[in-house]
Structure 1
Amino acid sequence: MQRTARPFKSRARFGPRSSAQWFALPAVLLLGLFLLYPFVDVLRFSTWDWSGLSAPRPIGLENYRQILQDPDFYKSLRTTLIFSLITLPPFILLSVLLALALDGQPYERGIKALLFLPGLVTLGGAAVAWYTLFSPEYGALAAVVPVPRWDQSVGWALVLIMLFTLWRHIGYGVLVVSARLKAIPKALTEAAAVDGANPLQTFRFITLPLLRPALTFLVVIGTVLTLQSYTAVFLLTRGGPFGGTEVLGYYLYKTGFEIGRLGYAAALTVVILILTLAFALAQARLLREER
């Protein structure tokens, strides 16, 4: 009796989903190698009394207890929060105003490219250029107009760092707001105009509520960036004058590499990471509520 040939059935153990997971494995391994392993090492270092030159001495959670009692830590945290408060409102306001002014204009793409260009310049080169331009003594701008002595005034030093930060990131903010503006249906604004709403009313009751997710995103991302600010302070003011611009990032650097308390600096790194993650979780929650 002749048997009918059965169709071949693959008995492969790995389906498409398993294959995709195997393809993702190299990226996961690299992520663990360059992120997870250093973080575990930082946690280990944070339990040491270690200068980097002498033998480490385990002290448990003593570094964290000292952080809670460290007035310099709270001073740098307060400076960081002040820097956030004077930087975020202009950043959000300018991003919205510029995006609205450029929306639909024939030169929109060119202006956006120019605004985004500072973010592509290396941070070190940009900071050196700003210092050369705004130096009160020999800066190029000082030869034309009087430049405030920001090297002797905490307020003017914070203003300088704020302007530098805005110059670096305003292009990103404009792109985020502009992308959200493009997603607003024109039919809504046209219907509001037909109903007799003026441009200000249209912006207040239609455009602004629909821009809220983009504004929430910029607020939280900007806050996280200010918590991690370091390079601009290091290159422009070195934490001065009188320690008035010593943000958390610079205090971490000074503690670890100038004072030589690497174990304490590792504990500061963990604390700053926890603060940053708290804001990141707040970002995820706010964005989820806006959907």
Structure 2
Amino acid sequence: MNKPGRFVTFGFLAPGVGLLSIFIIFPILLTAWVSLNHWSMFTPPTEMQFVGAENYAKVIAQPTFKKAISNTFLYSALNLVIMIPLAVLIALLLYHFRAKGNTVARTLLFLPYIIPPVAVAIVWGYLYSPMYGPFNEILAFFHIPAQKWLGSLEQAMLSLIILNVWQTLGYYVVIVIAGLTEIPQDYYEAASIDGANSFQKLTRLTLPLLKRSLAFVIIIMTINTLQVFDPIYVLTQGGPANSTNVVSYHMYDTAFNFGNAGQASAMAFILYIVVLFFTVLQLRLFKTDY
């Protein structure tokens, strides 16, 4: 059998490499270049002025950007802390208690994930409404004072996190269930023969063997939460008082409301480096040999 020629090989690779170059590599390089220039988006690109690292220095010195960075990390960290235990717990319950209606429960749990984020944000904006929202109606039924939710400095970020947990939890539960199905039942039988109880099976068998699935969940969740934009754009616009302002929204605001494409590109490239750093770090931390 003749080996395919170089042109045939290139022909198969060209579509994938072309799309990767157009939609990923080229935008990254273009963002890096624009970040080194002063350019107002209200003027033609020909009026760019090269300023080197000046945009990065200005961005890093901005109190608003520092607040956006801290909010981004807070949002990502709280999502991880809340979502990982919930995903593992619900996955274990759905996997081990295969009662009637289990498939329906999995479907209902996964369904919010396929709903467009903007539509979800609009609906949750109504639920969080301080005047006529169902959440405050429920609180009133139990004689609990109405809450400001998205209008509160203390509650706005947590409200957005609850929204994200509701929408994305089902996806991560499905990933964990897939990891559970890969664990051979022989391991559990051997552990039972050795006298291991349920807690020992969970901590010494199930969780270690779920390492790859949990690593995937943590990495994908970190990437997604560090780039959060849709619910903040729809519901809070970074408010109140920058309490929900994150890097993605601050970047959008700088570029499209103030027209400063250079500084916005610098923010975008900083966010890209942060996401890349945490992705590589987690890949190394969760590296497995099986």
TM-score (norm 1): 0.89
Who is 1:262 aligned against?
A: 261
Residues 48 and 56 in structure 1, CA contact (< 8 A), matched pair in contact too: yes
Deviates more, 1:177-186 or 1:38-47: 38-47
Identity of aligned residues (%): 33
Work out whether 1:68 is the aligned partner of 2:60: yes
Q: What is the CA–CA distance in structure 2 between the aligned matches of 1:218 and 1:72, rounded to whole Å?
A: 30
Q: Deviation of residue 170 (structure 1)?
A: 0.6
Q: What is the CA–CA distance in structure 2 between the aligned matches of 1:119 and 1:151, rounded to whole Å?
A: 22
Work out whether 1:276 is the aligned partner of 2:275: yes
Work out whether 1:288 is the aligned partner of 2:282: no
1:101 to 93, 96, 103: 93
Who is 1:50 aligned against?
A: 39
Q: Deviation of residue 24 (structure 1)?
A: 2.1
1:19 to 4, 8, 32: 8
2:82 to 90, 100, 103: 90
Q: What is the CA–CA distance in structure 2 between the aligned matches of 1:15 and 1:286, rounded to whole Å?
A: 39
Q: What is the CA–CA distance in structure 2 between the aligned matches of 1:169 and 1:70, rounded to whole Å?
A: 32
Residues 212 and 290 in structure 1, CA contact (< 8 A), matched pair in contact too: no
Structure 1 segments (4+ residues) deviating >6 Å: none
Who is 1:204 aligned against?
A: 203
Who is 1:4 aligned against?
A: none
Who is 1:112 aligned against?
A: 106
Work out whether 1:30 is the aligned partner of 2:19: yes
Work out whether 1:189 is the aligned partner of 2:178: no
1:41 to 27, 30, 47: 30
Deviates more, 1:23-32 or 1:268-277: 23-32
Work out whether 1:137 is the aligned partner of 2:131: yes
Question: Any unmatched runs of 5+ in structure 2?
Answer: 141-145
Cα distance, 1:155–1:192 mapped onto 2, change above 3 Å: same
Q: What is the CA–CA distance in structure 2 between the aligned matches of 1:237 and 1:203, rounded to whole Å?
A: 41
Residues 48 and 263 in structure 1, CA contact (< 8 A), matched pair in contact too: yes
Who is 1:77 aligned against?
A: 69
Per the alignment, in what secondary structure is the counterpart of residue 155 of structure 1?
coil
Residues 128 and 149 in structure 2, CA contact (< 8 A), matched pair in contact too: no
Q: What is the CA–CA distance in structure 2 between the aligned matches of 1:35 and 1:221, rounded to whole Å?
A: 18
Question: Any unmatched runs of 5+ in structure 1?
Answer: 1-9
The 5 Å alignment of 1:104-183 reads 104=96, 105-106=98-99, 107-146=101-140, 147-183=146-182
Who is 1:3 aligned against?
A: none
Q: What is the CA–CA distance in structure 2 between the aligned matches of 1:121 and 1:152, rounded to whole Å?
A: 25
Per the alignment, in what secondary structure is the counterpart of residue 30 of structure 2?
helix
Per the alignment, in what secondary structure is the counterpart of residue 288 of structure 1?
coil
Residues 213 and 290 in structure 1, CA contact (< 8 A), matched pair in contact too: no
Q: What is the CA–CA distance in structure 2 between the aligned matches of 1:277 and 1:68, rounded to whole Å?
A: 19
Q: What is the CA–CA distance in structure 2 between the aligned matches of 1:16 and 1:44, rounded to whole Å?
A: 37
Work out whether 1:216 is the aligned partner of 2:215: yes
Q: Deviation of residue 85 (structure 1)?
A: 2.1
Q: Deviation of residue 197 (structure 1)?
A: 1.7
Amino acid aligned to 1:133: L
Deviates more, 1:149-158 or 1:224-233: 149-158
| CA displacement 1:237-278 (0-9 Å, x = unmatched) | 111111101111111111111222111101111111111111
Q: Deviation of residue 290 (structure 1)?
A: 5.3
Q: Deviation of residue 28 (structure 1)?
A: 1.3
Deviates more, 1:88-97 or 1:135-144: 135-144
Please tell me whether Structure 1 or Structure 2 has the larger radius of gyration of its CA atoms: 1
Residues 255 and 261 in structure 1, CA contact (< 8 A), matched pair in contact too: yes
| CA displacement 1:208-237 (0-9 Å, x = unmatched) | 111122222222221221211111111121
Q: What is the CA–CA distance in structure 2 between the aligned matches of 1:184 and 1:18, rounded to whole Å?
A: 43
TM-score (norm 2): 0.89
